[in-house]
Amino acid sequence: MRNIGKITALAASVTMIGSVALPAITASAATTGKTINWSEVAALPTMDPAKSTDTVSADAIGATGLPLVQFGKGNKLENEAAKSYEKSSDGLTYTFHLRSGLKWENGEALTAKDFVYGWQRSIDPKTASEYAYLLDSVKNAQAIQDGDKQPTDLGIEAVDDHTLKVTLESPSSYFLQEITMPVFFPQNEKFVKEQGSKYGTSAKTYLSAGPYKLKGWSGSNNKYSYVKNDKYFDAKKVKTNKIAVQTIKDQNTGYNLYQGKKLDFTPLSPDQVKASKNKSGYKEIKTGATQALQMNQEKVPEFKNTKIRQAISYAINRQTLSDKIVTGSAIPATTYTPKGLVKNPNNNKDFATDAEVKGAIKFDKKKAANLFKEGLKEEGKSDLSVQLLTDDDDTSKRVAQFLQEQLEQNLKGMDVSIKTVPKKQRLKLSTDGDFQMLNFGWLADYPDASSFLDLYKSDASYNYGKWQNADYDATLENAEGKNANDKKAQYDDFKKAEQILEKEAGVAPLYYRSTASLLNPKVKGVIANPTGAPFNFKYAVKK
């Protein structure tokens, strides 16, 4: 994690044995700052921690929820609900010791049982959590997802109200980073069951335990607030009474509101980047994220042809896309796993640079045309018409139009139409597999290559395009099974899997994402995360 003013690409790695007290948070004055006016580019889709799949809900749940640990200042894991933990010498058991006096916003005690229920509900197939796979390292998680065991068999136990014991299936080098994600947050069983299917669909049907409470969200409106939660155990360090959030999809609107001092934060369009680079509030916030093109083999059988997938990838000029379409917010991708996320334990070399298959992900108009022609001939086709699904924010629309132009110009016989929908609808269409091509972005959940590579396992819930490769699956199984406790061997497995994905064009990476933005210089203490929720507002204050 990194502060907005100081970029640090790689999140801290935690591999400790024995009893460990997580880093203490530096005390600060309890003064209250002015209201911060924040913007999001898409509507808030859900406040259900088990069903959060996007950055907007991750921001909101991060601001209002209470994880065991979280990424905080200086890119370090900070203690939240847990005051300390113990890790067994074999790496299979974690025992977390919770703080005394934790409370939900309604005044009820928050105990270890709330974590047990939250994790069990998240893994329960009936909940249909797309992020359930993040719990795979926990004992019996996969068997529960397969229907062979019950959610109550998950390897998590409340020893008492303040002690939580977690048993893993096999050692996991990134377990502590994973549990910063909403799917691992506690849930109040009584409240959740009272709300039923409405849980997390509005402010009234959600229960906070974190720095802020959610107010003013009906489930469909575009304005809501994070209001300081006096029941939060560390409330004295929360300096801001209110963060007013509004959905602003149009970047011109956001820019004008910022100029009029009605917004404190807004992302920028390419033209706005040029006009803002010399302003004091200009920030380029780098993230562990990749934008890519998924090709749905179930809807378009021709996408099963490797040559056609490769042709589509070769037909895209990523340098032009980055320089002209998403100026200030992109670096051309040469791998799927982004740069700056993880390093080789043998020589400290960046994984993306180390795993890059030279020439596999690049613009090559001639190669694209030849492969497309050969692929269509093998499929008995002379042309191919497909629809590209994308979000309705400005950047997504510009990217989709560019992709349409590139594919139609560089692949003879290719016709591309565009379907533009709100993000909430796009998420559902993606999950349902109801698309042909998809403009798809992924932000790392935790700083490890597996956060990207696991998406394309044959049975992965986020493998929307249904690409399959037996060697790829077996390589990741080794990485997360027999080699899970051997960092060097695991790294080699991840490198091999990345290279299979690149060569086979299982997905077409486009660019590594960042956010070019304006942030009011009077706003201090907002932490921008390279993985997981984009922002941590706990320490935010407006002078």
| pTM over cut 0.85 | no
Whether 230 shows a pLDDT value over 60: the answer reads: yes
User: What gap in Å lies between CA 59 and CA 283, rounded to an integer?
Assistant: 19
Q: Does residue 464 fall inside a structural domain? A: yes
Q: Are residues 85 and 118 in the same domain?
A: yes
State pLDDT tens for residues 172-186. Answer: 878 998 999 999 999
Residue 492 included in any domain: yes
Would you say residue 20 lies in a domain?
no
Q: How many CA atoms lie within 13 A of 184 on its CB side?
A: 27
In a domain, 273, yes or no: no
E-strand ranges in 356-507 read: 384-391, 414-421, 437-443
Question: What are the structure tokens assigned to 369, written together?
Answer: 């045309």
pLDDT of residue 271: 82
Give me the percent of the chain exceeding a pLDDT of 70: 94
Domain that holds residue 406: 286-514
Name the domain count of the chain: 2
Task: Indicate if 166 and 69 belong to the same structural domain.
Answer: yes
- What pLDDT shows up at residue 172? 84
Mean pLDDT of 103-110: 98
Tell me: do 195 and 91 sit in the same domain: yes
Residue 8, pLDDT score:
25
Please tell me whether residues 313 and 441 are part of one structural domain.
yes
Assess whether 218 and 356 both reside in one domain.
no
pLDDT at 10: 26
Through-space distance between the first and last CA atoms of the chain, rounded to whole angstroms? 23
Please tell me the predicted confidence (pLDDT) of residue 74.
67
pLDDT at 450 over 60: yes
Which of the residue ranges 22-36, 153-167, 451-465 would you say has the lowest mean pLDDT?
A: 22-36
Question: For residues 309 and 425, is the Cβ–Cβ distance under 8 A?
Answer: no
264 assigned to some structural domain:
no
Question: Helix 365-378 and helix 306-314: axis angle, to 10°?
Answer: 160
- Domain identity same for 352 and 424: yes
* 485 shares a domain with 525: no
Assess whether pLDDT exceeds 60 at residue 526. Answer: yes
**pLDDT for 341:** 87
Of the pLDDT bands very low, low, confident and very high (cuts 50, 70, 90), residue 496 is very high
Residues 163, 87 share a domain:
yes
pLDDT at 529: 82
466-489 residue pLDDT tens: 999 999 999 999 998 888 878 899
pLDDT band at 247 (very low <50, low <70, confident <90, very high): very high
**119-172, pLDDT tens digit by residue?**
999 999 999 999 998 999 999 999 999 999 999 999 999 999 999 999 999 888
pLDDT tens digits, 30-89? 557 899 999 999 999 999 999 998 999 999 999 999 999 998 876 688 999 999 999 999
**Predicted local distance difference test score (pLDDT) of residue 515:** 85
% of the chain with per-residue pLDDT over 90: 77
- Does residue 525 lie in a domain region? yes
422 located within any domain:
yes
Say which CATH number the domain at 390 has: 3.10.105.10
Helix H or strand E encompassing 82? strand 82-87
Q: 242 and 315: one domain?
A: no
* Pair 190, 305 in one domain: no
356-385 pLDDT, tens digit each: 999 999 999 999 999 999 999 999 999 999
Residue 14 has pLDDT above 70, yes or no: no
In a domain, 255, yes or no: no
427 shares a domain with 306: yes
What's phi and psi for 417, nearest 5 deg?
A: -105, 160
5 falls in which pLDDT band (50, 70, 90)? very low
> Does residue 7 surpass a pLDDT of 80?
no
Residues 532 and 390 in one domain: no
Report the CATH number that the domain containing residue 153 is assigned in CATH: 3.90.76.10
What's residue 461's pLDDT? 86
